[in-house]
Amino acid sequence: MSGQPIFNRLALIGAGLIGSSIARAARAQNATRSIVVTARSAATRRRVAELGFADQVVETNAAAAEGADLVIVCIPVGACGAVAEEIRAHLAPGAIVSDVGSVKGAVLRDMSPHIPAGVHFVPAHPVAGTENSGPDAGFAELFVNRWCILTPPPDASADAVERLKAFWQLLGANVETMSAEHHDLVLGITSHLPHLIAYTIVGTADELSQVTRSEVLQFSAGGFRDFTRIAASDPTMWRDVFLANKDAVLEMLGRFNEDLSMLTRAIRRGDGDALFKQFTRTRAIRRGIVDIGQDSPSPDFGRPHPGLPHAPLPRPYAVDD
Ligand code: NAP
């Protein structure tokens, strides 16, 4: 528990992985005096009440926004505009409205027109997550030592930006500020394109399943398994990300295809030097990520293997007797 709360009443609209993690972290850090949560479905609202990480669970977005000095919209980006329209008449003067969407340009475009004068809009993206969804998936430590990117519009109140920054820092995040456009370009390559590649490769392997069904799963530790984790991410969220960040993703996909063609050519021509040069460069990038504390240096991403059963050697390597 830290000192004085930064906000009085935090309203979270959406209580999935991100919304429920914010609630848990805000409570653990005493970041707000009270937390009110709503979600689209009665089932999720019921579950939030059972889990007990909110002081109040309400039925509508409007009821959540009433009297809150910080409103964070934690739903798929494609739905943010409609929710902003729904809550506009219920926002308290001086309140800060924010979001957590993985795309910022589209959120700024869709939500801004509904933010009344005297209310501050400061979009945000905590660059932290897992492949799990829903209120059970959240945890208070999700944002610790992860980045949260704020993309305030040029005329945003500096005081509102500072208060939101202090909130995220209290939840454990490092905070960076940039334009929505720049955010979408950077995340296009660091997050959106990797997800697209994972969705593709897992889909391709599935289509080959006639030949490989058991082997794909059996030998998945050879790299495929890490793609399957990313490819298990929420389909609604990621559909919205690609629709909302179309231009940046297409730009990055163009560059990726050029580089893939270069490697394809190197393999076809037996150009080992070109392959070695590229792989040496990328290995250094991995080391850089570990050096700045954004991943574990442990082999296998630090996964524990306590109860791993001893499986017999797979057929191609087993000695037939
Ligand atoms: P999630 O676990 O699937 O939860 C989504 C929440 O949004 C649920 O409470 C859901 O309500 C609600 N919702 C879904 N569609 C809605 C709609 N059309 N209108 C109103 N509410 C709706 O998702 P999440 O992972 O927390 O993601 C939420 C946001 O965070 C997304 O914008 C995503 O881009 C961003 N984000 C995600 C990650 C990540 O790794 N997952 C990381 C950073 C940012 P019901 O349960 O009642 O359906």
The enclosing H or E element of 96 equals strand 96-99
> With a 6 A CB cut-off, is 123 part of the ligand 1 pocket?
no
Q: Residue 292's pLDDT band (boundaries 50, 70, 90)?
A: confident
Q: Which of 197, 190, 35 is nearest to 127 (CA)?
A: 190
CA of 259 from ligand 1 middle (Å) equals 33
Write down the pLDDT at residue 213. Answer: 61
Question: Whats the size of the chain, residue-wise?
Answer: 321
Whether pLDDT at 2 is above 60: no
191 lines ligand 1 (CB under 6 A): no
- Sort 92 into a burial class: Cβ within 10 Å, 0-12 / 13-18 / 19+: middle
- Nearest atom in ligand 1 to the alpha carbon of residue 241 is 34
Q: Say what the pLDDT of residue 206 is.
A: 80
pLDDT in tens, 23-67: 999 999 999 999 999 999 999 999 999 999 999 999 999 999 999
Sequence-ordered list of residues with C-beta below 8 angstroms from that of 20, at least 6 positions apart, any chain = 48, 51, 53, 134, 135, 136, 137, 138
Token look-up 């996964």 returns 303
Q: DSSP secondary structure string, 116-153?
A: PTT-EE--EEEE---S--STTS--TTTTTT-EEEE---
Q: Is 237 in the pocket of ligand 1 (CB under 6 A)?
A: yes
- Which contiguous run of DSSP H or E holds residue 227? helix 224-231
Q: In the beta sheet, which residues pair with residue 209? A: none
206 vs 147, more confident: 147
Model confidence over 99-139: pLDDT tens digits?
A: 999 999 999 999 999 999 999 999 999 999 998 999 999 99
Q: What is the pLDDT of residues 203-216, one digit of tens each?
A: 888 887 766 667 77
Q: Which residue has the least CA distance to atom 1 on ligand 1?
A: 16
The secondary element (H helix, E strand) that includes residue 170 is helix 158-170
Could you tell me the pLDDT band of residue 307, with boundaries at 50, 70 and 90?
low
Contact between 176 and 149 (Cβ < 8 Å): yes
pLDDT band at 318 (very low <50, low <70, confident <90, very high): very low
Question: Hey, what are 18's tokens?
Answer: 């991100």
- Is the minimum distance from the CB of 19 to ligand 1 under 6 angstroms? yes
Q: How far is the CA of 74 from the centre of ligand 1 (A)?
A: 6
Rounded to whole angstroms, the Cα distance separating 245 from 254 reads 14
Angle between helices 246-269 and 193-207 (to 10 degrees): 60
- Ligand 1 within 6 A of CB of 42: no
**What is the reported pLDDT for 303?**
60
**pLDDT over 50 (residue 316):** no
- Cα(16) to ligand 1 centroid in Å equals 5
